[in-house]
Amino acid sequence: MSVTISQDQERRLLDSVPTGLLIAGQWRPSSTGETIDVHDPSTGDLLTTIASASPADGEAALAAAHAAQEGWAKTAPRTRAEILRKAFELITARADDFALLMTLEMGKPLADSRAEVAYGAEFLRWFSEQTNRITGRYSVAPDGAARLLVTKRPVGPCLLITPWNFPLAMGTRKIGPALAAGCTLILKPATLTPLTSLLLARTLIDAGVPDGVVNVIPTRHAGAVTGPLIKDSRLRKLSFTGSTEVGRRLIADSAEQVLRVSMELGGNAPLLVFEDADLDKAVDGALLAKLRNGGEACTAANRLLVQRPVAEEFTRRLADRFGQYTVGRGTLPDAKIGPLVDEDTRDKVDRLVTSAVEAGAKVVTGGEKVPGAGYFYQPTVLTDIPEDAEILREEIFGPVAPIVVFDTEDEAVRLANSTEYGLVAYAFTSDLNRGLRLAERLDTGMIGINTGIVSNPAAPFGGVKQSGVGREGGLEGIEEYLETRYVGIADPFAGQ
Ligand code: NAP
């Protein structure tokens, strides 16, 4: 369904979004009066201005989360579950607002934003269901002389730091399990896209989240505001999604108080197409894995490895489909690729393409910035890329598909694994045994077989190597917010 969005609709929505910091259940201005200007990446125009938290505001948010922790942990699981379920329902009811807001601040087409609303809301439903399934065990010690009671309890106040590329889902993927487990939290959204988090915060309050349980502090000073929190003993957990570079620094900072961390970091996903693959499915899968979210996804296929006998045909078909993608403001009904999020991101994509071409790569389609306002880049297919080219090592984060030809399965596995990242890999083959061999040999936390998308709230999302530690979603996701408590009990029958 394509609907034309009017400027009035955009303005009304923007005017309805809270502009303050959420601390202890109150919307407040920054203690320093500092603000953040939020821009539309498709025009560069100012959308709105919101409060920017200071270190003192960060401290107040932690004090609020700490004060609310005991009460929230004691709140009956069923009550926590029903609040999360209500939040899921409210987001679903407000899906059009969430989708438009994401498109305005992040740029992706409305269809991508709607898909993210469904995906992001689902984390709250999934974890509302998990809330009542936090269990422990009681057993007899092997020698019969003691009883062993094992329980789970919330880790305590959490700091959640999220990136700009999925403004709703990166928040709910952490907030869902944290609240389900009984943890209070402070959310620090990305400076480029804080509006979705503010609307989410209001929705969580509307769903019944008590004061102080959820605190939201956008800030222009990420390091200065979160640094002291990470070193404060009242904070018990850091969950970060973002670049490997920042993640590494946060792990080092967390060492001081041996803070529990979860890290969802960068990726460099290989997508393998074998000669026995169904090429229609492989092309569809590659389009999804590469161009969903404009290529601005940690799961985006970064290297398309194609077996020689089908390489030419696959490249031709993929390039044809790339050429049919309309680039435009995400609110336009026919836009399939929005702008990149800012000029720096577009410059990086352009630099990677230019340096690959200088090293001998051929441009099959695209290859340039789109002139005019906004940070648009042409959907691009490259071939003949030298193995050591930067574009094969760096996360591209844009609509660029570098195609590399291979001959054997062993070579494909070697190329796929030759990266410091290990988030996800995709493989297209009609040979079941080959699919299973790849599932065992590819060095990633997630593998898609004959599919270009693996994200699912009921599945454990996360990477190995420098793509991070920990898992979000699935049965595993809530464990990141729970501690195991063991109580040793003397034999109740002793002396009877
Ligand atoms: P980023 O620059 O690392 O920023 C991520 C978040 O960290 C933002 O909220 C940012 O705040 C904050 N931050 C930056 N420096 C910080 C510091 N010194 N201390 C505390 N917080 C700090 O990453 P990004 O450019 O927003 O996001 C893209 C990256 O995220 C890509 O590498 C992508 O692969 C990764 N990602 C990973 C996953 C996953 O699940 N594995 C999912 C999505 C994205 P500011 O906005 O104020 O800079």
Residues 170-193 pLDDT 10s: 999 999 999 999 999 999 999 999
Place of tokens 């695209």: 366
Q: How far is the CA of 162 from the centre of ligand 1 (A)?
A: 6
Residue 446 CB less than 6 A away from ligand 1: no
Q: To test the ligand 1 pocket, which listed residue (108, 160, 161) has its Cβ within 8 A of the most ligand atoms?
A: 161
How many whole angstroms separate alpha carbon 361 and alpha carbon 304?
Answer: 14
Is residue 395 in contact with ligand 1, taking CB distance under 6 Å? yes
DSSP state of 480: G
Neighbours of 125 (CB within 10 A): 20
Beta strands in 200-295 (DSSP E): 214-216, 237-241, 260-264, 269-273
Tell me, in angstroms, the distance from the centre of ligand 1 to residue 320's CA: 33
Residue whose CA lies nearest to ligand 1 atom number 17:
223
Determine the distance separating the centroid of ligand 1 and the alpha carbon of 404, expressed in angstroms.
29
How many Å apart are CA 311 and CA 383, to the nearest integer? 10
Cβ 182 under 6 angstroms from ligand 1 = no
SS3 403: strand
- Which numbered atom of ligand 1 lies nearest the CA of 226? 20
In this prediction, residue 3 carries a pLDDT of 64
Q: Ligand 1 mean position to 218 CA, how many Å?
A: 13
- For residues 179 and 143, what is the distance between their CA atoms, to the nearest angstrom? 39
**What is the predicted pLDDT for the residue at 374?**
98
pTM: 0.98
Ligand 1 centroid, distance to 195 Cα (angstroms):
16
Of 269, 291, 453, nearest in space to 365 by CA: 291
Q: From the CB of 172, is ligand 1 less than 6 Å away?
A: no
Which residues, in sequence order, are CB contacts of 433 under 8 Å at separation 6+? none
Instruction: Please provide residue 45's backbone torsions phi and psi, each rounded to the nearest 5 degrees.
Output: -75, 155
Among 38, 298, 421, name the best residue to mutate to test ligand 1's pocket (greatest count of ligand atoms within 8 A of Cβ): 298
Cα–Cα distances (Å) from 456 to 113, 123, 196, 430, in that order, read 16, 9, 21, 23
Atom 6 of ligand 1 has which residue's CA nearest to it? 163
Q: What residue's CA is closest to ligand 1, atom 9?
A: 190
**pLDDT at site 2:** 54
Q: Which residue's CA is the closest to the ligand 1 atom numbered 30? A: 242
Q: What is the pLDDT along the chain (496 residues), one digit of tens a residue?
A: 456 789 999 999 999 999 999 999 999 999 999 999 999 999 999 999 999 999 999 999 999 999 999 999 999 999 999 999 999 999 999 999 999 999 999 999 999 999 999 999 999 999 999 999 999 999 999 999 999 999 999 999 999 999 999 999 999 999 999 999 999 999 999 999 999 999 999 999 999 999 999 999 999 999 999 999 999 999 999 999 999 999 999 999 999 999 999 999 999 999 999 999 999 999 999 999 999 999 999 999 999 999 999 999 999 999 999 999 999 999 999 999 999 999 999 999 999 999 999 999 999 999 999 999 999 999 999 999 999 999 999 999 999 999 999 999 999 999 999 999 999 999 999 999 999 999 999 999 999 999 999 999 999 999 999 999 999 999 999 999 999 999 999 999 999 8
Q: Is 73 a pocket residue for ligand 1 (Cβ < 6 Å)?
A: no
CA within 13 Å, CB half, 147: 9
Residue 92 near ligand 1, beta carbon < 6 Å: no
**Which residue has its alpha carbon closest to ligand 1 atom 23?**
242
Question: 39: which strand partners?
Answer: 46
Exposed, middle or buried, 495 (CB in 10 Å: 0-12/13-18/19+)? exposed
* Signed CA dihedral, 420, 422, 424, 425: sign only: positive
Tell me how far CA of residue 412 lies from CA of 11, 267, 404, in angstroms. 50, 18, 10
298 lines ligand 1 (CB under 6 A): yes
* Cβ pair 220, 52 in contact under 8 A: yes
Task: Report the alpha-carbon distance of residue 59 to residue 40 in Å, rounded.
Answer: 31
Q: What's the CA-to-centroid distance between 241 and ligand 1, angstroms?
A: 6
CB of 23 closer than 8 Å to CB of 111: no
Burial of 183 (0-12, 13-18, 19+ CB in 10 A): buried
The amino acid occupying position 360 is G
pLDDT of residue 1: 46
Please tell me the number of Cα atoms within 13 Å of 201 on its side-chain side. 29
Long-range contacts of 436-442 (CB under 8 A, 24+ apart): 437/409, 438/272, 438/409, 438/413, 441/413, 441/417, 442/270, 442/413, 442/416, 442/417
CA angle 456/462/463 to nearest 5° reads 140
Residue 464 beta carbon below 6 angstroms from any ligand 1 atom: no
Nearest ligand 1 atom to alpha carbon 267: 34
Query: Could you give the 3-state DSSP secondary structure of residue 322?
Result: helix
> Is the shortest distance between the CB of 223 and ligand 1 below 6 Å?
yes
Residue 4 has a pLDDT of 79
Q: Which ligand 1 atom is the nearest neighbour of the CA of 220?
A: 47
Query: In the beta sheet, which residues pair with residue 370?
Result: none
Q: How far apart are CA 388 and CA 383, in angstroms?
A: 14
Please work out whether the CB of residue 162 comes within 6 Å of at least one atom of ligand 1: yes
Of the candidates 405, 318, 328, 404, which has an alpha carbon nearest to the alpha carbon of residue 364?
Answer: 318
CB atoms within 10 A of CB 436: 11
Q: Quick check: 405 and 392 in contact, CB under 8 A?
A: no
Distance 88 CA to ligand 1 centre (A): 25
Determine the atom of ligand 1 nearest the C-alpha atom of 468: 41
State if residue 423 touches ligand 1 by the CB under 6 angstroms criterion: yes
d(CA 235, CA 159): 7
269-280 pLDDT per residue, tens: 999 999 999 999
From the CA of 297, how far away is ligand 1's center (Å)? 12
Q: Which atom of ligand 1 is nearest to the CA of 191?
A: 46
Report residue 264: phi and psi, to 5°. -110, 100
Three-state DSSP at 30 gives coil
